Amino acid sequence: RRERFVFRPNHLDLLDKCFAEENYPSLRRREEIARTCNLTTERITGRPLSDKERVGVHTISNWFANKRKDLKK
């Protein structure tokens, strides 16, 4: 079973801002968001990220899907 990804506060801030702009980001936009999250976290920690800490496009897609689902409730 895969470990659950835990978003950092800086990730959530960026994701919320992006969600306010667009609920259905394109693949290119999701790649850009993932890259920005990873670069920001590397700057904060001052070290390269491990694979478990790295945000992927699929993780971003799931976050947006879950956020849209939560809005419907």
* Domain regions of the chain by residue span: 22-72
Q: What distance in Å separates the CA atoms of residue 59 and residue 61, rounded to the nearest whole number?
A: 5
Phi-psi region of 38 (alpha: psi -120 to 50; beta: other; left: phi over 0): alpha
Distance CA 56, CA 60 (A): 6
CB 53 within 8 A of CB 41: yes
Q: What is the pLDDT of residue 17?
A: 97
Residue 3: what pLDDT? 84
Report DSSP state, residue 52. T
What is the chain's pLDDT, residue by residue, as a tens digit (73 residues)?
A: 878 899 999 999 999 999 999 999 999 999 999 999 999 999 999 999 998 999 999 999 999 999 999 999 8
Helix, strand or coil, per DSSP, at residue 12: helix
| pTM, full prediction | 0.91
Architecture of domain 22-72: Orthogonal Bundle (1.10)
Predicted pLDDT at 2: 77
